[in-house]
Structure formats: C-alpha cells, structure tokens
Amino acid sequence: MQITVGELGKLLNGEIVGDADILISKVAKIEEGEHQALSFLSNPKYEQYLYITESSAVIVNKDFVPSAPVSTVMIKVDDAYASFTYILEKFGNVSSSKTGIDDSAVISTKVIIGKKVYIGAHCCIEENVEIGEDSKIYPQVFLGKNVKVGYNCIIFPGVKIYHDCVIGNNCIIHSGTVIGCDGFGFAPLPDRSYKKIPQTGNVIIEDDVEIGSNCSIDRATMGSTFIRKGVKLDNLIQIAHNVEIDEHTVIAGQAGIAGSSKVGKYCIIAAQVGIAGHLTIADGSVIGGQSGVSGSIKNPNKKWFGSPAFEYKDSIKSSIYFKQLPSFEKRISELENVIKELKKNNQS
C-alpha cells in the first residue's frame, strides 16, 4: 500500500483537512498510530487519541468537530467506519492475489475449476467438485464428492467440507471449520443402547457468508441445514442438523444451536448462548451472552437474556431482586420474630 492522502480522499469522496501530499503506507489503530499510518475515528470514546496520535492521517465523520488542536491530517467522510473498512478491503487483502494449483494437491480428474483459482499444497478434492472463478482454496483443505464452491470464495487452511455440501459466492471459511459432518442423531433401543440414524442430507451455505475458525455445521438428517445469505458466524460455534439460520444474522463465539431450530433474519446472538432444539427465533431477536433459550421466541425485534431467557428488561429487574435475596431473608426472619413476639404477648 503506497498512496497519498489526496488519492485516499478521492477514493472515499472525502474532504482533506491538512496536507494532501502526505504518503500513507500502512494502517494502524488510532491509539497505536505511527508515521505513514492511516487510522480512523468513529467511536467518541477514542477521541482523546486523535490529539496525540502519531498516525499521518485519520478518517473522521464529516460532522466531527475537534475540541482541541489536531496535528494529523483529517479525511472527513460520511461514515468513517465504513470508509476505513473499504480501505482495508482494497489494500489489505493479500489473500485475494494468489492463483495456481500446487503440485502436491490431490485433485480428481472429474472436477470443474474456474479461472484464476488458487489451490494450495496438500489439498484433497474429490470427484464432481465445482470451484468457481477467483476462489482461493488454501493448503490441506478437503472437498468431498459433489461439493460446490461458488466464485470469489476464500477457504482457509484445514477446512473440511463433506460430500454434497454447497458453498455460495463471496464466502469466507476460516481454518479448522468442518461443514457437513453427521448430525447428532441416535435412536434409543430397548436395551438402553443407541443406534445411529443415517444423516443423508447436506449443508447449504448461501452467498456472502463468513464462518470463523473451528466451527462445526452438521449435515441434515434429511433435506438441508441452511446458512442463509449474509450470515456471520464467529469462532467455535456448533450448528446442529436441520438448523436454519436466516439472512444477515450474526452469532458470537461458543454459541450452540440444537437440531431443527430456525433462527430468523437480522438476529444478534451473543457469546455462549444455547438454543434448544425444534424452536423458532423471531426476526430481529437479540439474545444476551450466556443465555439459555428453552422455548420459541415469537415476538420479533425484542431483547432477551437469562437462563431460561426472558425479556431483557424483566431479566435485569429480576437480577436486581436476586442480589437482594440475602437481605430479604434477613428482613423476613426479623418480621417472623416480631410476629412471634406479638402472638406471645397476645396469649399472655
């Protein structure tokens, strides 16, 4: 990355406040700025660093008014966070430049590979796989029979995608994730042992999905497990068989969703949330960290918290009362003693 502040301003349709000829060669957090670095400021909590940062330029919102002298160059834009994200995508994505097929990759002759595809060392790609144009398959990835990968995907090292699964366009799957492993299905027998139920379905991941590292997405018993368009999954997430995650829902790390549950659109599920099986979560639901959802959520666009989870405001009130239980117990004991004393006096 070698670009002047003025050129950045044109790319971002921004207003330059300062020297437009200064050269930018890297990016940095505003509190860790250095010479020739570009930073951004969108959260007011970090404004203090604008006045002391060593970064050569900082992207800020157009309506931002500094409260002290600023020595760095400011690039004023409509949305500082979105603009900085655009710069990272344009100049920081080294993974998008690779092409070619490594000699050590094991690839079936019955494979369709698009233009400008990269396949790294020691990949194993079985028959009838399709890989779309501009996709990058990093070392030690396994793609089972009949897997389809769309265009402009990035599949990082060590990902395993079992047979018949489908990956849409513009998807990113991080290292260690397994897609299409068997769902947890076992039938209890009279002798209290368990017989495995064949898992005959697949996983379908739609366009613009990003999946973090070490996630596990189980194939359906029958039909498909669905991860719909625009979903973002953090690291260490378990998605069970026949689950459906609808469009543009985000799920944070260590969350788990049990079999056949359906999560609506635009939901936000925080870390370590557990959702029981065969439930429906309404569109726009926000579920706080470590909550346990044991029943369906039918009302859209509400916040939930607790285990079992219930509406956020009520859960906060309940937690306040819960903290006061020791003092309540003491006061009740005192009242009981007063009542006993009154009864004793009345009897005498």
CATH number at residue 83: 3.40.1390.10
Angle between helices 312-323 and 325-347 (to 10 degrees): 60
Roughly how many angstroms between the first and final C-alpha of the chain, as a whole number? 94
Give a yes or no: residue 226 inside a domain.
yes
Catalytic residues: 241
Distance CA 290, CA 275 (A): 10
Residues 84 and 192 in one domain: no
What is the DSSP annotation of 225-242?
EEE-TT-EE-SS-EE-TT
Q: Which CATH number belongs to the domain containing residue 291 in this structure?
A: 2.160.10.10
Give a yes or no: residue 115 inside a domain.
yes
Residues 223 and 288 in one domain: yes
Residues 200 and 220 in one domain: yes
Q: Which domain holds residue 128?
A: 99-314
Domain count, the chain: 2
Residues 254 and 300 in one domain: yes
Give a yes or no: residue 344 inside a domain.
no
List helix spans (H) across 13-146: 47-50, 80-91
CB 26 within 8 A of CB 47: no
Tokens 């004991």 identify what position? 333
Residues 160 and 272 in one domain: yes
Residues 76 and 134 in one domain: no
Residues 81 and 164 in one domain: no
pTM, whole model, 2 decimals?
Answer: 0.80
Give a yes or no: residue 145 inside a domain.
yes
Give a yes or no: residue 335 inside a domain.
no
Domain C-terminal end among 71, 92, 113? 92
Which pLDDT tens digits describe the chain residue by residue (348 residues)?
689 999 999 999 999 999 999 999 999 999 999 999 999 999 999 999 999 999 999 999 999 999 999 999 999 999 999 999 999 887 766 555 788 999 999 999 999 999 999 999 999 999 999 999 999 999 999 999 999 999 999 999 999 999 999 999 999 999 999 999 999 999 999 999 999 999 999 999 999 999 999 999 999 999 999 999 999 999 999 999 999 999 999 999 999 999 999 999 999 999 999 999 999 999 999 999 999 999 999 999 999 998 888 787 777 777 777 777 888 888 888 888 888 888 888 876
Domain C-terminal end among 64, 92, 120? 92
Give a yes or no: residue 46 inside a domain.
yes
Which residues, 6+ apart, have CB-to-CB distance to 278 below 8 Å? 258, 259, 260, 261
pLDDT of 52: 96
Residues 80 and 104 in one domain: no
pLDDT of 312: 72
Which residues, 6+ apart, have CB-to-CB distance to 172 below 8 Å? 153, 154, 156, 209, 210, 211
Give a yes or no: residue 153 inside a domain.
yes
